Structure 1
Amino acid sequence: MTTAAAAAPATGTPFRGRIRGRVLLLLCCMYAISYIDRTNISTALPHITDEFGLSDTDAGFVISAFALPYALLQVFGGTISERFGPRRALFVITVVWGVATLWTGLSTGFWTLFAARLLLGLSEAAAFPSATQAMSRWIPRDRNGFAQGIVHSAARLGNALAPLLVAYCIAISGWRLAFFATAVLSVTWGIVWFVLFRDRPEDARGITKVELAELPPVATRATRPPVPWRALAKQILPVSFVDFGYGWTLWVFLTWIPTFLSDQYDLEISAFAWFTTAVLLAGVVGDTVGGLLSDRIIHRGGDARHARRLVLVIGLGGSLVCLLPLVVVGQSLTVATVSLALSFFFLELCNANLWAIPMDVAPQWSGTASGFMNTGFGVAGVVSPIVFGFLIDRTGWQLPFGISCALLAGAAVVAWVMKPQRITVTDGVLEVGVPAAERDATR
């Protein structure tokens, strides 16, 4: 630990009474809606496959249709927000994904469903990088982990609510109603965001000099030098691999848990929706705890590299251990539910830290850097549902869960050895090599 690091503040800068609190609340709503939009299909999947006559392998391809453009356009999506600003970017994104969600509800078979999911992945590819760009302008650096933890907790809350909302819609009028309702919700959020948000904090009505002084330097939030691709790749590529291991397992939870509970324990939708919600609620807690934990380590004198890395290893390792009972045949419903919930809690300790690292490492290019990082998650989204569905059809559930454990172990090893460092441009000079929090602590 350096002397400068030891002088780091004991508590983070406040959100209460600040306009950034409103910005964070808006982003929480967007993250929740986005995950309702992308995961409502998982709960509806047993009904959709019955209506359209799809196999588990077909269902895996439908789920992966979202992830293919999502993976390929992550970096491009990040540059969009940096070029046009997160205000306009997120408005257009949410309107387009609202159309995609409406299209899902109007699907008539495999190919129309596949196309709707492609459009949803295309639009949502730029959403989280754009949101990260917004946070890099509005969130003090010592609160990066907390902010990412809160918004991703909201995303997991969307995960947890989706099974109940979809089950309710199915009971009222069939599975299509769930997609019509979330389409309206998505477009409404986009309009509210465009009216209330400002790309430059200086332009926000009612902002105080005190709050402006707490935000990142103007050079970070107001300028965008050319992206140093080589330096950025060197710092972010290992994080992308960790994100792949995390993403593989997350897609398992988001895609297959309702089907697993239905198949293995003969549960009706009213029952497996509640069990799925119980599992996913654990992630709400995990996201917040993970962000708070790493920020607390930094505030007590640690550096960001150590803080993020430590929480990632704990999260990935804990998720692996808790998932192991599902590799064994014949677990009771109670054991399976508790194992899944604990595994998901530990897995979600990682999420805020994965997204905070690009903000720590490349504050001037946080949209591009976070898109680069989240490409790992996108690739996992392409591969995981297809491979998992294929293996379920041919071997049952144990082997797919075992492969997930192996990937978690590999990601934990990479998380422990990687050493992300800050990249900045000052007076036209590229600087690489100072750990993120050590530089912040000297400010």
Structure 2
Amino acid sequence: MSGMAVLCLVFLPYALGHYLSCLLRTVNAVLAPQLVGAAALTPGDLGLLTSAYFLAFAVAQLPVGIALDRYGPRRVQFPMLLLAALGTVGFAVGSGFTQMLCARLVMGLGLAGCFMGAVKAISTWVAPARLPSVQGYLIAAGGLGAATSTLPVQVFLKHVDWRWLFVVLALCCVVAAVLVLILAPTPQAAPNKKSDGAGLGNVLKHPVFRETAGLVLVPHMVFFGIQGLWIGRWLTDVGRFSEQGVAWLLYLGMGAVIVGAIAVGKVTEWAARRGIDAITVACLGVLLFVVVQWAFVMGWQPGMPVLAVLFTLVGTITGIEYTIVAQAMPPALTGRASTCLNLLIFTGAFAVQAGFGLVVSLWQPDAAQHYPAAAYQAAFFVLVLLQLPGIGWFVWRRRRPLAANTVESLI
């Protein structure tokens, strides 16, 4: 296929699905005041309601991955996007916490294949050497969706009730489903349909998969779990920013995702031409990401707007693990490899998003229902502690061969 054909028939239809997936994943960060008012939610309730999306994602990953490798992304994405539209409408008409929670779960199930389907399609039709850049563009499309969920949604809410927003997004899911059905090509199906279990085992045993997951997995959980909800609440409770101010900073942060995703792809290709592997680039990025989070722990209040943007800008480095794994896997396993990653990432993101709210809830709010800075500092401190072992393990493993080579040269 020509480059233009890949752009129009492969990239754009699937990128639209990923755009909507990220928009719906992060929109609750701006809608939090409306949702809290509509259903009288505590921080724990809000975290559970929002993180239910991640839980549904996690449950769907393995079956969706097997289906992608067996039937191709086109045949999988069309019905799933229609299911997402159903869940989005259900969220719009939900009248209580339980109904909205169930609708959020259905929404997450329907959108669970958007990113993996796009990765599968791109891995099938794009040359391996170009994968870092093209997948960077895909992540940038998701960043655009996340950016749309901030300031543009805030402007939309000035004219229309938040429930109508979800009706519009449901219609967009239907449009995306139709475009995938009409435009996307269908790759050749995998010939062996009895090797699904063995294929998953091969993915989990692969040394590149294990090394990548050990380093990047927990930071990726933190990135998804926090930027989709708690950055906005942190700005409201600790920084006392207005709803408009929070929406503007979230918009800048999600715009930074677009820049960061494209930059990560370009830097990874640049480093590869100079003999630096992608996992080393990932390690440096993860270290910087943890440093940013440590600034949250230290309570650097004058720099809160900068930290809110830096968190999402630097956090985009975590998306590099999809590229590393896709390049290392045979084509018949790329779908399952992506879904194995997503199973772990979104299960962890569910725990991070819900657990962060539980930690914050250990403190008492003030009369305006703002939680103190100490609550957020403690929650971010826990997250930093969770990420340090992976970095230490990676550095230790990389130093062992270097030390062995040094001893051999001395002998």
* TM > 0.5 fold call: yes
Matches within 5 A, 1:143-182: 143-182=130-169
Looking at structure 2, the residues matched to 338 and 355 of structure 1 have their Cα atoms a distance apart, in angstroms, of 28
Query: Offset of 1:238 from its aligned partner?
Result: 4.2
Equivalent residues in 2 for 1:20-419, closer than 5 Å: 20-22=6-8, 23-200=10-187, 223-225=190-192, 226=195, 227-235=198-206, 236-241=209-214, 242-298=216-272, 300=273, 302=275, 307-329=277-299, 331-332=301-302, 335-351=303-319, 353-362=320-329, 363-395=331-363, 396-414=375-393, 416=395
1:224 is displaced (CA, Å) by 4.7
Q: Is the 8 A contact 1:78 1:370 kept in 2?
A: yes
Classify 1:103/1:64 alpha carbon distance in 2 versus 1 (closer, same or farther; 3 Å): same
Distance 1:417 1:143, change over 3 A: farther
Q: Post-superposition shift, 1:370? A: 0.7
Deviation, structure 1 residue 28? 2.4
For the 8 Å contact 1:85–1:199, the answer to whether it is kept is yes
Q: How many Å separate the matches in 2 of 1:239 and 1:330?
A: 31
Q: What is the aligned partner in structure 2 of residue 436 from structure 1?
A: none
Encode CA deviations 1:284-336: one digit per residue, 9 max, x unaligned. Answer: 111111122212233x253xxx522112112111111122221123612xx01
C-alpha spacing 1:153/1:410, structure 2 compared with 1 (3 Å) = farther
1 CA distance for matches of 2:237 and 2:200?
46
Q: Does the CA-based 8 Å contact 1:61-1:385 persist in structure 2?
A: yes
Amino acid paired to 2:4: R
Q: Is the 8 A contact 1:326 1:398 kept in 2?
A: yes
Which consecutive residues of structure 2, in runs of 5 or more, have no partner in the other structure? 364-374, 399-411
Asked if the contact 2:199/2:336 (under 8 Å) is kept, the reply is no
Structure 1 residues 282, 415: closer, same or farther in 2, change over 3 A? farther
Counterpart residue type for residue 322 of structure 1: V
Counterpart for residue 4 of structure 2 = 18
Q: Distance in 2 between matches of 1:418 and 1:284?
A: 32
**Which amino acid in structure 1 is aligned with residue 248 of structure 2?**
W
Q: What percent identity do the matched residue pairs reach?
A: 22
Query: Any conservation in 2 of the 1:238–1:414 contact (CA below 8 Å)?
Result: no
CA contact (8 A) 1:165 1:178 kept: no
Structure 2 residue matching 1:261: 3-state secondary structure: helix
> How many Å apart are 1:157 and its aligned residue?
1.4
Count of residues paired in the alignment: 378
TM-score (norm 2): 0.86
Work out whether residues 321 and 343 of structure 1, in 8 Å CA contact, stay in contact via their aligned partners in 2.
no
Contact 1:249 1:404 in 2 (8 A): no
Change beyond 3 A, Cα 1:133–1:17:
closer
Give the 3 Å change call, closer, same or farther, for CA 97–414 of structure 1 in structure 2: farther
Structure 1 spans left out of the alignment, 5+ residues:
1-14, 201-220, 420-443
Q: CA RMSD in A?
A: 2.1
Structure-2 change in CA distance of 1:244 and 1:322 (3 Å)? closer
CA contact (8 A) 1:34 1:155 kept: yes
TM-score, normalised via structure 1 length: 0.80
